[in-house]
Structure formats: C-alpha cells, structure tokens
Amino acid sequence: MIKAIVTDIEGTTSSILFVKDVLFPYARANLADYVQRHANDPQVKALLEDVCTEVGEQLSTGQIIDQLIQWIDEDKKVTPLKSLQGLIWEAGYRQGDFKGHVYPDAAEKIKAWKSQGLDLYVYSSGSVHAQKLLFGHTEYGDLTPLFSGYFDTHIGGKKDRASYDNIAVQLGIPANQLLFLSDIKEELDAAKAAGFQTIWLTRDSTPDPQAEHRQVNSFEQISWAKA
Ligand SMILES: CSCCC(=O)C(=O)COP(=O)(O)O
Ligand SMILES: [Mg+2]
C-alpha cells in the first residue's frame, strides 16, 4: 500500500531539455551580474562562503563566479550553486521569461493522486526554492498546493541511501509505503535500498520489462496494487 509519493523533477515530472536548455543557461548568463549585485546580501554572502568551504580555500568574488560557472557546465549538484540558481531563476519566472515545464500526464496524475488523498512530495537536486518556483509557474497554473513538502540536497545526495532513510523518518511513514519516482537508476537503487517502492520514468524510450525497477514512460502508466 502506498501512503505518499516522492517525485524527482528533471526527467520525471519535467523535461530534461527544459532544465538543460532553459534553466541552466539562464542561470549561467545572469550569474556574474547577480552575484556582484547581491554579494553583500546576508543570504547570498553565506552561499558564497559555502562555495569557499566546498573548495577548501578562500576565493575572491571573481574566482567564486568562475567556480560556480564551472559547476554549472559540469552539472554539479553542489548545494550553494543550486541555491543561487534558484534565486536567479526567481527573476526569470516573475518576469515571465519562461514557465516551469511539467509534462501534461504528470500534472494530471499529480492532481488525481492528491484528490485520492495521497500525500505528494518532491525530492530534487534543485533547491526547495527552485522547486516551488517551477511548480508555482506552470502552464497549468500554480501546482504547489498539491505538494505537502519538498526535499533538496540539504537532506543529502540523491544517490545516497541515507537521504531516503532521512526522508522516511521526516515524513513519519514506513519506507515500504513510500513510492519514489525518478529517471536515474542510481537514485532508484538508493531509494530501494532504503525500502522505498520505486518506478523508473524513461520518458523518451520504450520501457524495458526486465529492468531492475519497473519502467514507465508516462505517469499515465503508474499504478500499484491496493493492499
Ligand atoms: C528545481 S528545477 C531545477 C532542477 C535542477 O536544478 C537539477 O539539478 C535537476 O535535478 P533533479 O534532481 O530534479 O534531477
Ligand atoms: Mg531526474
């Protein structure tokens, strides 16, 4: 029996191309200007210090910007980078430069599950702020009221079993009553090791019935046995 669903974003509810071709380039193009203008804001200042801690040395603002750009280019899931990206995307969403992409089948199922009484959570490498912005600005309107909570890399990396142990403890739900949805096998392996049920979104390829986690290419195909 499933009590709650925890979903990934990129490649699962939302297109990889939206993240890679819209969000990441927008953050890259606006990063230097944003950091220079906000370097003394307490929140940004703390994030810039976290970058220095992460690399293990004191860097100038220019060096921090270069490091952040390198991490964007390498798609590194480093917590201060993900937090800064969220702050930069905020302006893009508010100005209407882009909308948060959500596949129609995902939007429909998320609404249906919520109305059936399931609790829905997000677990993404994007910061909680970025997650709320994406689901708050979709072509189906604001989907954030459908979610009961959000997790990002502050709880741990998505390929680490301990992160899923922590999520289950925080939710107060036995892991075997939690369903995790993702497009990345290593994330699903970690969730399964923690006792979660798992479904693998393949989106652009035909599901493989022999795969280690049940594969589907649309939320429409997601179902489970009712105990
Ligand atoms: C919150 S949208 C931006 C997604 C993002 O920054 C990212 O790194 C994708 O991570 P995910 O864990 O959703 O695959
Ligand atoms: Mg993903």
Domain parsing of the chain, residue ranges: 4-15+100-221, 18-94
What's residue 227's pLDDT? Answer: 64
Distance between Cα 9 and ligand 1 center (Å): 6
158 lines ligand 1 (CB under 6 A): yes
Q: Does domain 18-94 have CATH number 1.10.720.60?
A: yes
Q: Which fold has domain 4-15+100-221?
A: Rossmann fold (3.40.50)
What's residue 226's pLDDT? Answer: 78
Between CA 156 and CA 205 the distance in angstroms is 29
pLDDT digits (tens, 9 = 90+) for 36-74: 999 999 999 999 999 999 999 999 999 999 999 999 999
Residues 191-208 have a mean pLDDT of: 96
Asked if residue 15 lies in contact with residue 217, where contact means CB atoms within 8 angstroms, the answer is no
**ipTM above 0.90?**
yes
Asked if residue 131 lies in contact with residue 150, where contact means CB atoms within 8 angstroms, the answer is yes
What's residue 22's pLDDT? Answer: 97
Q: Which residue has a Cα nearest atom 5 of ligand 1? A: 126
19 lines ligand 1 (CB under 6 A): yes
Closest CA to 110 of 201, 188, 200, 220: 220
pTM for the complete prediction? 0.95
